[in-house]
């Protein structure tokens, strides 16, 4: 119908009514169309500007990250002269500073044992129904007799087992008992013991065993069958040859004599890891570790440059810029966006804020000479800044980076990295400290060792019951010889853990203190979940005397209670972490509490200037942050404009049809008038022919 109307317009009158309709529609559309286009351009410009703001913040974050890390301020530099005694491996941030003089008297080395030569390394050692046999390997320290000329050591005379290294029980079976099979079985163990079959150059082979490095990691090997006795290394049966003696490294640091089981050392100078390369009776190495403030200083200067760059970008987005040549002023894309102006003002204004939880003389940038310029940017007062670095470096560190302090070594802050509590001082009151249930023997009869548990002899069948947290555990001591209290404690802990784990019950730590000569059984968890005590069976009177049960003491566990800034605090499932409830304004505050910590403690916490600013930026850039929310709102505004444009198109279509209909009616009227005029002309011609 519309096409018919359009084709009919102007057909009778000669007037170009189509152009008139198009003109009327264009005039009616122009104002709202322009208004909608302008609005859409503004919204799209703002979206683009927010993208620029986000990119600028992402770049700014890269500079803030190092400033939030205390390691940036704990960098160390070391001067290690060229030498043959030791070489540096790693110098960590926060390493101990000072000058150190090291002398290396002896390098550590691992004990190596070799079997006698075997013609065929694939030949089976077990045969004739031997079945499954065992090689028992213990680790510890040997005492040797006098060495014969050419021998690495003399015959072994006494062995002290190392309680910190687990013994090995290696199963050897018929059909898998060659030297090659045994080497494979040893290497499959979860240990540092290494085995290899080596050709000896005479056509035969030997099994070579290499222990972990150190004097306390030498090998005691006991076989359960005569066919495996060539592998024995024990008092009276040293059937393997010591090709290399196990020994500790011996060194002196500033005159202090030290021993270490390895030539790689990381616990002599805190934060400095080094290798011992050779020993010398006379040579020494002197080196210095000092604070390296250069990295931190450069990080601060990079921050100032980045802040000024961000400030310039942000101010251009929210303010008005003026062309220096023409003087023309151009408003920024976000100059009318209240949300953006508030975001930028808050970020730029942070440079003047003080940081809670810090020394009041060093709690703002101006304290260390970082001043605000007239244009709102930052600059350094070099004299104040250099003085702060030289005299108050720790306070410069605290101003920028995260810091935590405690008035007590028994209360350690372990603040969350995901939910950050407010900066400031925290008052932690421990009403009840966490305690573990325990039972401890009296002073033991060390002369009662070795203890021999023999199940065939009633008098030496040791059994007892232990009650921890209300759990009664019966232990029948396995057959065997237990040479030292340490070895005894290791066995007891293994037996208790085996039984407790099968019941899904709380484990027990068993320790022996050589200084007090007492053995302690301690629950692995904190809390008051039952009593403690040891009850020994009737057959163990001699054993009872060795353990000195008459002098035993015990203690109940205790559930922790405490408050944080006056609010009742929650306790973690481990029983020793006090934390603010999730609903508290201090949520994220967490403290590791040690036994015996009853009382009030003060803990200081600060994210530092960089940490707080970084946290604010990350919140702004998060998926539900203010910038994302504003971008989503602008996207909806653009969609609304597009919808309004569609509605305008629909309205103009209707107006076009209306105008077309009106002009068509006009054409019909004009056509009717033209017909009437023709009829009148014909009538006049008829009436007055003389006038034609």
Q: Is the pLDDT of residue 8 over 50?
A: no
Provide the pLDDT for residue 360: 87
* Per-residue model confidence as pLDDT tens digits over 375-428: 889 999 999 999 999 999 999 999 999 888 899 999 999 987 778 899 999 999
Helices (H), 319-381: 338-349
Provide the pLDDT for residue 586: 95
Which class in CATH covers the domain with range 110-247? mainly beta
* Per-residue model confidence as pLDDT tens digits over 488-502: 898 888 888 888 877
User: Confidence band (pLDDT; 50, 70, 90) for 661?
Assistant: confident
Domain boundaries, the chain: 1-67+293-342+615-692, 76-107+251-291, 110-247, 406-434+560-606, 438-555
Single out the residue of 606, 562, 565, 588 nearest to residue 410, CA to CA: 562
User: Confidence band (pLDDT; 50, 70, 90) for 14?
Assistant: low
- Within 13 Å and on the Cβ side, how many CA atoms surround 94? 4
* Per-residue model confidence as pLDDT tens digits over 252-306: 999 999 999 999 999 999 999 999 999 999 999 999 999 899 999 999 999 999 9
* Per-residue model confidence as pLDDT tens digits over 113-160: 999 999 999 999 998 888 999 999 999 999 999 999 989 999 999 988
User: Confidence band (pLDDT; 50, 70, 90) for 692?
Assistant: low
* Per-residue model confidence as pLDDT tens digits over 611-657: 999 989 999 999 899 999 999 999 999 999 999 999 998 998 888 88
330 vs 328: CA distance, rounded Å: 7
Q: How many CB atoms lie within 10 A of CB 89?
A: 12
User: Confidence band (pLDDT; 50, 70, 90) for 543?
Assistant: confident
User: Confidence band (pLDDT; 50, 70, 90) for 530?
Assistant: low
* Mean pLDDT along residues 510-533: 84
Pick the more confident residue, 467 or 141: 141
3-class SS letters over 480-549: EEECCHHHHHHHHHHHHHHHHHHCCCCCEEEEEECCCCEEEEEECCCCCCCCEEEEECCCCHHHHHHHCH
User: Confidence band (pLDDT; 50, 70, 90) for 1?
Assistant: very low
Q: Is the pLDDT of residue 538 over 50?
A: no
Q: How many CB atoms lie within 10 A of CB 371?
A: 14
Provide the pLDDT for residue 2: 46
Q: Are 249 and 263 in contact (CB under 8 A)?
A: yes
Provide the pLDDT for residue 6: 44
| pTM exceeds 0.75, yes or no | no
The whole-chain average pLDDT of the chain stands at 89
């Amino acid at each position: 119908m519309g096409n018919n109307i359009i084709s009919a317009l102007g057909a009778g009158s000669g007037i170009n009514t189509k152009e008139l309709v198009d003109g009327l529609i264009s005039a009616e559309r122009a104002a709202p169309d322009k208004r909608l286009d302008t609005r859409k351009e503004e919204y799209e410009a703002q979206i683009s500007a927010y993208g620029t703001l986000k990119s600028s913040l992402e770049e700014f974050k890269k500079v803030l990250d190092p400033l939030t890390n205390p390691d940036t301020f704990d960098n160390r530099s070391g001067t290690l002269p060229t030498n043959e005694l030791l070489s540096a491996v790693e110098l960590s941030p926060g390493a101990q500073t000072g000058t150190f003089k090291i002398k290396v008297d002896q390098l550590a080395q691992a004990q190596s044992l070799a079997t006698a030569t075997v013609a065929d390394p694939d030949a089976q050692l077990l045969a004739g129904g031997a079945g499954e046999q065992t090689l028992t390997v213990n680790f510890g320290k040997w005492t040797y007799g006098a060495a014969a000329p050419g021998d690495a050591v003399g015959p072994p005379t006494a062995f002290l087992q190392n309680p910190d290294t687990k013994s090995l029980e290696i199963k050897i079976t018929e059909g898998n008992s060659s030297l090659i099979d045994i080497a494979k079985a040893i290497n499959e163990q979860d240990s540092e013991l290494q085995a290899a079959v080596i050709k000896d150059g005479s056509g035969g082979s030997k099994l070579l065993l290499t222990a972990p490095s150190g004097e306390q990691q030498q090998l005691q090997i006991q076989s359960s069958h005569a066919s495996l006795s060539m592998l024995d290394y024990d008092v009276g049966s040293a059937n393997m040859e010591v090709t290399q003696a196990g020994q500790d490294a011996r060194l002196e640091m500033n005159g202090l004599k030290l021993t270490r089981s390895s030539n790689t050392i990381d616990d002599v100078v805190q934060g400095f890891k080094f290798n011992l390369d050779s020993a010398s009776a006379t040579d020494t190495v002197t080196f210095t570790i000092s604070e390296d403030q250069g990295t931190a200083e450069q990080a601060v200067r990079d921050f100032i440059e980045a802040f000024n760059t961000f400030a310039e970008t942000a101010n251009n987005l929210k303010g008005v810029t003026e062309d220096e040549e023409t003087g023309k002023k151009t408003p920024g894309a976000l100059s009318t966006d209240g949300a953006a102006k508030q975001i930028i003002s808050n970020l730029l204004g942070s440079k003047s804020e003080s940081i809670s939880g810090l020394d009041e003389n060093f709690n703002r940038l101006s304290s260390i000479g970082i001043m605000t310029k007239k244009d709102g940017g930052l600059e350094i007062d070099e004299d104040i800044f250099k003085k702060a670095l030289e005299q108050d470096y720790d306070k410069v560190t605290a101003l920028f980076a995260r810091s935590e302090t405690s008035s007590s070594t028994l209360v350690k802050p372990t603040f969350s990295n995901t939910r950050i509590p407010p900066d400031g001082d925290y008052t932690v009151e421990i009403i009840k400290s966490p305690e573990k249930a325990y039972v401890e023997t009296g002073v033991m009869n060390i002369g009662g060792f070795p203890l021999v548990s023999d199940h065939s002899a009633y008098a030496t069948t040791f059994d007892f019951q232990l009650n921890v947290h209300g759990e009664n555990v019966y232990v029948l001591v396995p057959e065997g010889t237990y040479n030292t209290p340490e070895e005894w404690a290791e066995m007891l802990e293994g037996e208790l853990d085996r039984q407790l784990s099968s019941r899904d019950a709380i484990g027990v730590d068993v320790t022996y203190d050589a200084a007090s000569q007492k053995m302690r059984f301690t629950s692995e968890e904190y809390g008051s979940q039952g009593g403690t005590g040891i009850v020994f069976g009737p057959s163990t009177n001699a054993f009872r005397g060795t353990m000195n049960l008459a002098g035993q003491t015990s203690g109940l566990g205790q559930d922790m209670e405490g408050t944080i800034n006056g609010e009742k605090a929650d306790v973690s499932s481990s029983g020793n972490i006090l934390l603010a409830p999730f609903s508290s304004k201090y949520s994220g505050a967490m403290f590791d509490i040690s036994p015996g910590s009853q009382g009030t403690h003060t803990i200081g916490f600060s994210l530092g200037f960089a940490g707080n600013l970084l946290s604010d930026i990350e919140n702004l850039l998060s998926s539900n942050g203010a910038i994302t929310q504003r971008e989503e709102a602008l996207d909806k505004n653009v969609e609304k404009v597009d919808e309004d444009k569609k509605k305008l198109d629909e309205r103009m279509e209707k107006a076009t049809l209306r105008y077309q209909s009106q002009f068509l009616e006009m054409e019909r009227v004009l056509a009717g008038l033209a017909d009437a005029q023709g009829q009148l002309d014909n009538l006049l011609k008829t009436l007055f022919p003389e006038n034609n």
